[in-house]
Amino acid sequence: MLTTGFKLWFGIFVAALGAAVFGGYTSGGDETGPISFAWKGTVGNHVSYGLLMTAAAVALGLALFSVAFRDGDAEAAAELLDTDDAPPAQRPVGGSWWPVFAALGVGATAVGVVVHPAVFVIGICAVAAIAVEWTMTNWSEKLSGDDAHNAEHREKLMRPVEIPVLGAAGVGVLVLAVSRVLLASSANGAVVVATIVGVVVLGGAVLISRNPSLPRGIVQLVLLVGFVAVIVAGIVTAATGEREFHQKGGDTYAPDTQSGDGH
């Protein structure tokens, strides 16, 4: 039996194929080009022909998958599992940090391509690390039907790796970002920035430690805002470039990054 999904995607396949051939002929193709995938002859507009042909191929693939899986109907799934009812395709998974961290990693990678190679490398490392964490979370969820048991297993396995790695990564990112700010500031400005940052960090820590009843959310928010501020400052100053360094003997060192093209 031809399923609804098959009809939809097969219809798209036929329409795209027809449009590709029609477009191939009407845009200057010869007799054989449009019906031979341009192997024998020409097709006129290559862009429209290539895109429509590939769209047709993808739609055909979807149609075949769809009919093979009976549209993914619940009845087909139950039959495959040999159960009376199909289980849900997806159970709610609860809150997760990995999506937002992974997105930040992707963002760092993308922005790093433009701004600074170090940001790019940090982004790539973050994405790879989060991919492993994410996988382990998925893995642990399949261990049993008890969420607490699964979470416990996962933590037992991953905590000894996570804490040192995250600590080192966090320190590394902060050092890199703050050093970019200091290198971009004037000689006296760097001293001022370092002093202010030091006082703010120390003062903030003192304030938090003196108020142990402070809600966890506020502490998180302060840390998040501070962390993001340092990262953004690091990215912006990395893009701006370092200040000129006057070496002993009168030579001036002006780093390449001042050109601003990021290479």
Residues in 221-240 that interact with another protein by CB under 8 A: 221, 224, 239
Q: How far is the CB of 206 from another protein (least distance, A)?
A: 22
H helical segments located in 82-215: 98-115, 117-141, 147-184, 187-210
Sign of CA dihedral 47, 53, 55, 57: negative
Residues 11-40 binding another protein (CB under 8 A) are 11-12, 15-16, 19, 22-23, 26-28, 38
Q: Does 8 bind another protein (CB under 8 A)?
A: yes
Cβ proximity to another protein, 128 vs 201, nearer residue: 128
Q: How far is CA 149 from CA 27, 90, 136, 143, 145, in A?
A: 64, 20, 14, 8, 8
Q: Which of helix, strand or coil describes residue 55?
A: helix
Cβ proximity to another protein, 192 vs 223, nearer residue: 223
Q: Which of helix, strand or coil describes residue 246?
A: strand
Sequence-distant (≥ 6) Cβ neighbours of residue 199 within 8 angstroms: none
Residues 55-94 binding another protein (CB under 8 A) are 55, 57-59, 61-62, 65-66, 69, 71-75, 77-78, 80-81, 83, 85-94
Query: Of the candidates 52, 45, 53, 48, which has an alpha carbon nearest to the alpha carbon of residue 29?
Result: 45
Residues 147-206 binding another protein (CB under 8 A) are 147-149, 151-156, 158, 162, 166
Q: Which of 32, 36, 96, 211 binds another protein (CB under 8 A)?
A: 96
Q: Which of 191, 220, 229, 254 binds another protein (CB under 8 A)?
A: 220
Q: How far is the CB of 76 from another protein (least distance, A)?
A: 9
Radius of gyration of the chain (CA): 29
Q: Which of helix, strand or coil describes residue 253?
A: strand
Fill in the per-residue mask, 125 to 144: x = in contact with another protein (CB under 8 A), - = not in contact: ---x--xx-xxxxxx-xxxx
By CB under 8 A, the count of residues binding another protein is 110
Q: Which of 30, 35, 41, 50 binds another protein (CB under 8 A)?
A: 50
Q: How far is the CB of 30 from another protein (least distance, A)?
A: 13
Q: Give CA–CA dist 112/239, Å, rounded.
A: 10
